[in-house]
Amino acid sequence: MARSRREEHLPHGLLHAFLLATVAVTLYPVLWVVTIALSGRQSLALADLPADPGTFDRLRAILPWPSRWSWDNFRAVLSDQPFATWLLNSALVAIATTVVGVALSCTAAYAFSRFKFPGRRAGMMSFLVSQMFPGTLTLIPLYIIIVQWLGLGSTRLGLIIVYATTSIPFSVWMLKGYFDTIPRELEEAAIMEGAGPGVIFWRIVLPLAKPAIAITALFSFMTAWNEFIQAATFMDKEEMYTAPVGLRFFVGGFQQQWGYFAAGSIIVSIPVVALFFYLQKYLVSGLTAGSVKG
Amino acid sequence: MPAPSHRRRFAAGLALALAVSVGGSALLLRAARSQLGEEAEVRRGIVSLLALGELAARAGGKGEPLRQAVAGWQAAQAPGVTARVVLFQGVSLEASTAPQDAGDRAAPRRLAREEKAAYDRAQRLRGAVQGNREGGASKAELEIERLPGGGRSLAAPLFLEGQVAGMIEVATPAPAPPAPPGPWAALLAFALPLLAFLPLAGALGERRPLLAAAAAALLAAGSVGHGWGALGDLGGARRQAHAEVGAHAQGQGAAAARFLAAAGLAAEPPLRPGAWDADLQRAPRAFLTESGAPDGARVEADVASARGDARGTLLAAFVVGLGALALVGLGGLARAGRALVVHRQAYAYVAPAIAGTLILVFFPFLYGIALSFTDQNIYNTSTPLSELWVGLRNYSTILGDFGLARRAADGTLAWNYLNFYWTFLFTVIWTATNVACGVSFGLLLALALDTKHLALRPVYRVLLIVPWAMPNYITALIWKGMFHRQFGVVNQALAIFGVEPISWFDSPLTSFLTAFATNAWLSFPFMMVVSLGALQSIPADIYEAARVDGASRWQQFRAITLPSLKPALIPAVILSVVWTFNMFNIIYLVTAGAPNGATEILVTQAYKFAFERYRYGYAAAYATIIFGILLVYGTIQNRVTRATEAL
């Protein structure tokens, strides 16, 4: 039977018009940033208006097309401004967070998945509940612990410790879910061969769980790379800012360096946007499977 | 494995508990006594210092009269106490009794280059005095430093006609270490109950409740007995310290008066030795009367408050001891130890993660809750929380304030945007409008993209999720720029239609619209992707069947599409409600609460109370309330989803 060609649908032309309009609105802010970044100027305005602007001039002013192409903003933001330092801070913090967080989560998730021990349920439940703690409530005590007690204010180590530990509960839940799906028979066979628990964990379970570990690692990385509030609170010294705090520095308060901001934004966004598109098929299931996150 | 006898367990538990309770309190009291001794030492030093300051000022503050005053003062000091006077004028060491200033370095002389630290110190003190006079934060007008040999160097500004003309330094030798309280009381309080328990346990036999009661009673007896003695000891030591300082002040006063009379200097206004017992702001501590005799009522009040503090510490030590007794006596420790050994591998695997989250997730949470019962702010962060305890006051201030609006002088209604209920209402509106908009728009786009054989479908899909991929703080700052009054593209675009530039952040409604536009742009892709996934999983033949039965498109949508979307959409909506409720970055970066905090949501308001108004306790209470709201929401949502799943 041939598929009915008379499926009652809206005319495709109308759909295309709607979708194109939406795409235009969606992409406009992105194009706006790209235009400012490539205009070589610090101004917010896309074009200078003459004293008595006509309709054409006004259209020109909202069209995301620079009047002059230039890489100056990119060059300046990376060399004249401390932005490269900030990027380096962000990268170091995000990478260290990922390594530490994933290492701790893997072992814990494996134990939660494979061993029966007193406190197992309580541990998992407390990890779940901790996802509901409001960030603003823990921010003040964290500030006191990190800055006043440990003296780690304005250090990368302080941020790494905070990011890595706060990412543990979510990572443990994700990884435990995956470990649960790895058949136990494999491990039992290894035990028959005389392998110890350490060998099983390192040689059998971890290699099998590579996809889940990769996703967890990427989540940790993206969270640390994009985090703004804690970094803004703990990092007082300008040279220790992370990229998000630094970008705000360009356009917050009395500074109005929109060109630097735009160029910096693009540099910061490219890795995460790329990662995001690479990961997007996991995002929905991963997120909706999680619970109330506050 | 034979069960170890209850008797033996309780005996071990009692020993541990007594060690914790009695030993702990003995250590704490010992620390308190040595601190008391140091404090008295410092107070005596300050009395001598200020006595010299008074004499130096009356002697005219320079030249030979000053040196005579210093010599007169020196005669009344304990061995090893020396003084130096530094004047700004001529950068001179005007008088000194210090051993290093003998021979060719004897005062008066210019300060040497390597003595710059002394000059800097004088400058610091002058700065502090001037700062305090101008009403700045109160800085210390006295400096106390430890010297390498264990003594102290105290410094005070020298006043001449109301101006700081220099500095007086007094060095005191290391005090003889106070005799530590003998360990016998503590040992006795430890051993006696234990010795009493052994025959008692023999008589009671293997009956757990009786053994537990006996052990607890003996622990209490030992702790109370030891604590009683220790508190009395501490009170006595404190009284004695006040008496010593008083005697020293009276002695210094008498010596100063004798010197004034002998040197023929002005004896009016009368000396006030009691005021020489001052704190670092040079304000009298008020434990002494003006003549320097201890003020009985104040001393007793001080002793009582010190004993109150110590009693709290002793009680805490006792409670910890009781916990230890219960843990060991009832076999908890043995069981925990066995579990730890049997499952050592599992615990080794989870230990780092658990330890990390305990310290940096759970402890901050509990600390935050504790903070919410205090009025901690930026000025008293070093004060222990127990002294800032205000009970539920923060909560009653936040939740009990219904003053949403008040009449201004000209009769217009002025909203109080700092009111909790305003912010809560705004947060609810913000969440509801954003989620409604996100769901409907996302669903609409998903339906459009789900059309079969539509050209360029994958391209649209990828382009439409770009906003989700961008870091949201960047998005927020971009939109803030686009809403700029003069240069923002939004106003430029409106100008094409002849609309005057709008100051977006000057009124609550337009300010809300900017944040709303930002968040709508940011959040529809999530809903779109979720809906699209669900739509594509609906088998096509259901629609076929419905068409065969003659269902209209609307009927198909109502009867097939929506119900099949529900399992995917409900969790997504729940999640997006929580996200939007907590959408800190958008509000904080786009509107920043403008105008006047009208567009704050709860989380940004809590942040501002903490980090812009520095009211940590209040902000913690605010955040705890937010947690409560989320908890209630989570519970209700759980019930509702379960109910809908049951349908």
Domain of A82, CATH number, reads 1.10.3720.10
Mutate: best of B473, B581, B626, B631, partner A, most A CBs <10 A: B473
| Element spanning B165, H or E | strand B163-172
Identify whether A138 is part of a domain.
Answer: yes
Mutate: best of A36, A114, A140, partner B, most B CBs <10 A: A140
Q: What is the pLDDT of residue B373?
A: 92
How many angstroms separate the CA of residue B582 from the nearest CA in chain A? Answer: 7
Query: Does residue A24 belong to the interface with chain B, where contact is any CB pair within 8 Å?
Result: no
Asked whether the beta carbons of residue B529 and residue A283 sit closer than 8 angstroms, the reply is yes
Domain of residue A251, residue span: 76-289
Q: Which two tokens stand for residue A101?
A: 């967080």
Asked whether the beta carbons of residue A132 and residue B493 sit closer than 8 angstroms, the reply is no
Q: State the pLDDT confidence band at B435, using cuts at 50, 70 and 90.
A: very high
| Residues pairing with B82 in the sheet | B171
Cβ-Cβ contacts under 8 Å, B347 against chain A: 111, 117
* Nearest-by-CA chain B residue for A15: B448
* Nearest-by-CA chain A residue for B497: A55
Mean pLDDT of all residues in chain B? 86
Asked whether the beta carbons of residue A10 and residue B451 sit closer than 8 angstroms, the reply is yes
Summarize pLDDT for A186-199 with one digit per residue, the tens: 888 888 888 887 88
Burial tier of B137 (Cβ tally within 10 Å: 0-12, 13-18, 19+): exposed
Summarize pLDDT for B501-525 with one digit per residue, the tens: 889 999 999 999 999 999 999 999 9
Asked whether the beta carbons of residue A248 and residue B473 sit closer than 8 angstroms, the reply is yes
**Lowest-confidence segment of A15-29, A251-265, B377-391, B455-469 by average pLDDT:** B377-391
Residues 91-120 of A with CB under 8 A from B: 104-105, 107-108, 110-112, 115, 117-118, 120
Asked whether the beta carbons of residue B468 and residue A276 sit closer than 8 angstroms, the reply is yes
Report how far residue B285's alpha carbon sits from residue B277's, in angstroms, rounded to the nearest whole number. 6
How many angstroms separate the CA of residue A122 from the nearest CA in chain B? Answer: 11
* Nearest-by-CA chain B residue for A232: B611
Q: By percentage, how much of chain B surpasses pLDDT 70?
A: 97
Asked whether the beta carbons of residue A139 and residue B381 sit closer than 8 angstroms, the reply is no
pLDDT tens digits in sequence order for chain A, 294 residues long: 344 444 456 688 888 999 999 999 999 999 999 999 998 888 887 777 777 777 788 787 788 888 888 888 899 888 888 899 999 999 999 999 999 999 999 999 999 988 888 888 888 888 888 877 878 888 888 988 888 888 898 899 999 999 999 899 989 988 888 888 888 888 888 888 888 878 888 888 888 888 888 888 988 998 899 998 899 989 988 889 999 999 988 887 666 888 999 999 999 999 888 888 887 766 665 555 443 333
| Element spanning B86, H or E | strand B82-87
Asked whether the beta carbons of residue A292 and residue B363 sit closer than 8 angstroms, the reply is no
**Lowest-confidence segment of A30-39, B130-139, B300-309, B420-429 by average pLDDT:** B130-139
Q: What is the pLDDT of residue B178?
A: 67
B164 conformational bin, left if phi > 0, alpha if psi -120 to 50, beta if neither:
beta
Q: What is the pLDDT of residue B439?
A: 93
CA pseudo-torsion sign B257, B261, B266, B270: positive
Q: State the pLDDT confidence band at B602, using cuts at 50, 70 and 90.
A: very high
Summarize pLDDT for B150-194 with one digit per residue, the tens: 788 999 999 888 888 899 999 988 877 767 667 788 888 888 888
Residues 42-81 of A with CB under 8 A from B: 43-46, 49, 53, 55, 58-59, 61-62
How many angstroms separate the CA of residue A245 from the nearest CA in chain B? Answer: 10
Whether complex ipTM tops 0.85: yes
Query: Residues B6-20: what's their mean pLDDT?
Result: 86
| Element spanning B300, H or E | helix B296-329
Find the CB nearest A268 among B448, B456, B471: B471
Summarize pLDDT for B318-349 with one digit per residue, the tens: 898 888 888 887 777 788 888 888 888 888 88
Asked whether the beta carbons of residue B493 and residue A229 sit closer than 8 angstroms, the reply is no
Find the CB nearest B474 among A120, A247, A294: A247
Query: Residues B27-40: what's their mean pLDDT?
Result: 83
Range B265-281 burial, b when 16+ CB lie within 10 A, else e? beeeeebbbbbbbbeee
Query: Residues B611-616: what's their mean pLDDT?
Result: 87
Mutate: best of A9, A39, A55, A138, partner B, most B CBs <10 A: A138
Query: Does residue A258 belong to the interface with chain B, where contact is any CB pair within 8 Å?
Result: yes
Identify whether A34 is part of a domain.
Answer: no
Provide the 3-class DSSP secondary structure of residue B613: coil
Report how far residue B403's alpha carbon sits from residue B424's, in angstroms, rounded to the nearest whole number. 14
Instruction: Return the biggest CA–CA distance within chain B.
Output: 124
Cβ-Cβ contacts under 8 Å for B532 (sequence gap 6 or more): B446, B449, B450, B461
How many angstroms separate the CA of residue A95 from the nearest CA in chain B? Answer: 17
Identify whether A31 is part of a domain.
Answer: no
* Nearest-by-CA chain B residue for A268: B471
- Cβ B360 vs Cβ A161: under 8 Å: yes
Q: Which residue has the higher pLDDT, B411 or A119?
A: A119
Task: Please state the pTM of the whole predicted model.
Answer: 0.70
Residue labelled with tokens 């102290």: B152
Radius of gyration for the alpha carbons in chain B, expressed in angstroms and rounded? 37
**How many A-B residue pairs are in contact by the CB < 8 A criterion?**
262
Q: What is the pLDDT of residue A292?
A: 36
Query: Residues B253-262: what's their mean pLDDT?
Result: 88
Cβ-Cβ contacts under 8 Å, B367 against chain A: 141, 144
Query: Does residue A11 belong to the interface with chain B, where contact is any CB pair within 8 Å?
Result: no
| Residues pairing with B95 in the sheet | B85
Domains of chain B: 6-38+182-359 (no CATH), 414-609 (1.10.3720.10)
How many angstroms separate the CA of residue A175 from the nearest CA in chain B? Answer: 13
CA pseudo-torsion sign B558, B560, B563, B565: negative
Report how far residue B148's alpha carbon sits from residue B231's, in angstroms, rounded to the nearest whole number. 34
Asked whether the beta carbons of residue A140 and residue B582 sit closer than 8 angstroms, the reply is no
Mutate: best of B357, B456, B494, partner A, most A CBs <10 A: B357
Give the number of other CB atoms < 10 A from CB of residue B160. 15
DSSP string, B404-449: -EEE-TTS-EEE-TTSHHHHHHHHHHHHHHHHHHHHHHHHHHHHHH
Identify whether A249 is part of a domain.
Answer: yes
Range B393-420 burial, b when 16+ CB lie within 10 A, else e? bbbeebeeeeeeeeeeeeeeeeebbbbb
Asked whether the beta carbons of residue B364 and residue A142 sit closer than 8 angstroms, the reply is yes
Query: Does residue A144 belong to the interface with chain B, where contact is any CB pair within 8 Å?
Result: yes
How far is the CA of A152 from the CAs of A137, A236, B391, in angstroms?
Answer: 20, 11, 31
Identify whether A115 is part of a domain.
Answer: yes
